[in-house]
Structure 1
C-alpha cells in the first residue's frame, strides 16, 4: 500500500489509529523516503488527505524531529491554506520540529504571529510552543512571549505562563511577574486565579 492509502481517511477510519501506526513505523526505521512521500501529499486536492498527512508528520516530528525538520519550508507554506484546520495542523508540525529549524522559523516569525492572531486556539497554543522553543536564543522572543501573555484569553493564560516559567531566564522574570500580577487582578474564575498565583509564587522564588 502507498502512504496515501494508509492514511486514516483513505481507510474510512474516523480516528487517528492508522496515522499513529504509520508514524510509529516511520520513526522506528527513520524512513526518509516515506517522509518525502508525505511531503508530496501536502499538495493533494483533498483537505482530509492533507490533514492526515500533517498529523503523521507531527507525530514523527515529536519523536524524531531531525527527520522532519528539513521539510519545514513545505509545511510552513500551508499556513497560507484557506482551511483553518490545515493551518493549525501545519502549526502543530512546526512546533514539533522547532528546535531543528530555529533560523528558518525566526525568519518567518511575522507570518507565524499573524496566523496566531487570526487562527484557532490550537493555532495560538502551538505558536506559543514555537516561541518557547526559540527562547531565549532568538533576541525577540522575550518581548513576543510577554505580548502573548498580555493578550492571552483567561483560559490559556495559565498554560502559557506555566510553560514559560519552567524555562525563563533571570532577566525576564520581573517582566513576567509584572504582567501576571496585573492580569491576576482581572481574573474572575477561582481556578484561573489559583493557577496564576501558583506561577507567581514560583517566579518570586526565582528572584530570591
Structure 2
C-alpha cells in the first residue's frame, strides 16, 4: 500500500498531524521503501503532496537521521525551489543530517549559504544549525565555515543572536573560542535583557 494515501492532503485534512504520525512510523520502523516514496514525491505535480512529503521527510529525519541521510543531494537541489515551504523544509532536513552527510553537503556549501542569504527566517535558522554541525565534523570544515558563522553573528538581527549563537556553539573549539566570545560581547548592548540572559548562559557553558 502506498504511503501517499496517508498524507494529510489525501485524507482531506488541513492539519499536519497525519504527516507527523506517518513520519514517526517510518522513522520508528526505519522504513526505507516508505521514505523513498516520500522522497520521489517531493517533486509531485500536486503542490499539496509536495508540502506533505517535505514535512514527512524532515520530521522522520529528525527522529532517524540515517533514514534520510542518503538523500542529501535531493534536499540540496530543493534549495533552488521557488516554493518557500520546500526550501525551508529542505534546509530543515539538511540540518538533521548535516553531520552524517557532511562530505556530500560540503561539496555544495556555496549553495547552502546562498539559500540562507535569500531565504526565510526558518531557512536561516536551520541553515545556521546545519553549518554548525558541518563545522563540528572536522578541522578542515571548521576552518572553512566558522568565519562565515562569526560574520553572520556580527550582522544578524539582534533577536536572532541568542538562537544562532546557541547553534554555533556546536562548532566552537579551543582555537576559535576567543573570536566567538569577542563577537558575542560586541553584540551585548543591542540585546534585550532576556536575550542577554541566554547569551550569558552560553558564556557559563563555555567556562564549565
Superposed pair shares fold, TM > 0.5 = yes
Give the conservation status (yes or no) of the 8 Å contact 1:81–1:87. yes
Q: Residues 62-81 of structure 1 correspond to what in structure 2 (within 5 A)?
A: 62-81=62-81
Query: Against the structure 1 CA distance between its residues 181 and 71, is the aligned structure 2 distance closer, same or farther, given a 3 Å change threshold?
Result: same
The question of 1:152 aligning with 2:146 is answered: no
Relative to structure 2, which stretch is displaced further, 170-179 or 155-164?
A: 155-164
* Contact 1:180–1:200 (CA under 8 A) maintained in structure 2: no
Matching residue of 1:82: 82
- Superimposed CA distance per residue, residues 126-169 of structure 1 (whole angstroms, 9 cap, x where no aligned partner): 10111111123113121121122112211110011123335521
Moved beyond 6 Å, runs of 4+: none
- Asked if the contact 2:20/2:56 (under 8 Å) is kept, the reply is yes
Contact 2:153–2:165 (CA under 8 A) maintained in structure 1? yes
Q: Which residue of 2 aligns with 1:192?
A: 195
1:177 aligns with 2:181: yes
Q: Secondary structure at the match of 1:171?
A: coil
1:163 aligns with 2:172: no
User: Secondary structure of the equivalent of 1:15?
Assistant: coil
State the aligned residue count: 204
1:72 to partner: Cα distance: 1.3
State TM-score, norm by structure 1: 0.90
- Following superposition, the deviation at residue 190 of structure 1 comes to 2.2
3-state SS of 1:135 partner:
helix
Structure-2 change in CA distance of 1:192 and 1:71 (3 Å): same
Q: Any conservation in 2 of the 1:3–1:34 contact (CA below 8 Å)?
A: yes
TM-score, normalised relative to structure 2:
0.90
- Distance in 1, Cα, partners of 2:83 & 2:169: 33
CA distance in 2, matches of 1:102, 1:38: 22
State the Cα RMSD in Å.
Answer: 1.7
Deviation at 1:192, TM superposition (A): 2.0
Report the CA distance between 1:5 and its aligned residue.
1.8
